[in-house]
Amino acid sequence: MDIFLQLLINGILLGGVYAIISLGLTLIFGVVRVVNFAHGEFLMVGMYLIYLMAHYLGLHPYVALVPAAIILFALGAFMQKVVIEPLLDASEEIQIFATVGVSIMLMNLALVIFGADVFRAHVTLGTTSLTVGPLSLLTGQIFTFVVAVALAIFLHLFMHRTYLGRALRAVAQHRYAAQLMGINVRAVYIFAFGLGTAFVGIAAGLLAPQYPVFPTVGSYFVLTAFVIVVLGGMGNLYGAMAGSLIIGVVDTMAGYYISPDLKEVVYFGVFLLILILRPSGLFGLGTD
């Protein structure tokens, strides 16, 4: 029973890691209606930024995530303005190819600059264990989960209590109707893409004490994030949170009770089963 409870808690905490990445991805799709295949590479860029600030400036990753999030917000806004905006009226395939192109460019740029070496921010805060009765919890995962919940609450309040948040929801529901109501749709798109990308800057700072950084580090996390976004309902923020917790628990349980090599097979199987039963995801489409 203690092992099961430990695995359950570990899975929930792992879901917090996935949630921060998935929230940004689902926000971008929910508002801009573009599947950003460069999301993982932006996470990789964020983790390199965190490493550089930790190594050369002595900043702890939990502090460095603030400037990293600001830089990634700017990069995301720049990508929306320069790459996506000219293709807004193009077919979805063209938009996807554009984001894949950015993904490949960033990955190869990282290989050119840093090589294939693995780097890690060597810190103690966030890597120690906390014992609670029979449970052993990693402090970094606890902090990440708390931040994920805080960000979800922030997004909910922001989307429902502020003018800009309501503008985001209006554009997500019908961009042409929102434009007729006087909303600057292109500016909203730029903000949404920047905010969604800033989330991976926060995730990078939270992941840095626990995971090393290398040019393809974003691929694993973003693949799981895509599963979560579709599982919860494309563009649904609540679905992204629920899907993150489900996949986190399934990942941990399958890795222990079945095999670490087969855990992806298991959660992809759960993913396909849920989509067969509910093709629109657990919570359906939307940003509410």
Tokens describing residue 179: 């434009």
- Reported as a pLDDT band with limits 50, 70 and 90, residue 268 is confident
pTM of the shown model? 0.90
Domain contains 257: no
Q: What is the pLDDT of residues 124-170, one digit of tens each?
A: 766 677 777 777 777 888 888 999 999 999 998 999 899 999 999 99
Q: Which domain range does residue 13 map to?
A: 2-217
Q: What is the pLDDT of residues 93-108, one digit of tens each?
A: 898 899 999 999 999 9
Domain contains 232: no
Domain contains 106: yes
- Reported as a pLDDT band with limits 50, 70 and 90, residue 44 is very high
Domain contains 284: no
SS3 annotation, the chain: CHHHHHHHHHHHHHHHHHHHHHHHHHHHHHHHCCCCCCHHHHHHHHHHHHHHHHHHCCCCHHHHHHHHHHHHHHHHHHHHHHHHHHHCCCCHHHHHHHHHHHHHHHHHHHHHHHCCCCECCCCCCCCCEEEECCEEEEHHHHHHHHHHHHHHHHHHHHHHHCHHHHHHHHHHHCHHHHHHCCCCHHHHHHHHHHHHHHHHHHHHHHHCCCCCECCCHHHHHHHHHHHHHHHHCCCCHHHHHHHHHHHHHHHHHHHHHCCHHHHHHHHHHHHHHHHHHCCCCCCCCCCC
Domain contains 241: no
Domain contains 154: yes
Tokens describing residue 20: 């921060």
The number of folded domains in the chain is 1
Domain contains 110: yes
Domain contains 40: yes
Q: What is the pLDDT of residues 171-210, one digit of tens each?
A: 988 888 888 888 999 999 999 999 999 999 999 999 888 8
- Cβ distance 205 to 46 under 8 Å? yes
What are the residues facing 212 on neighbouring strands?
A: none
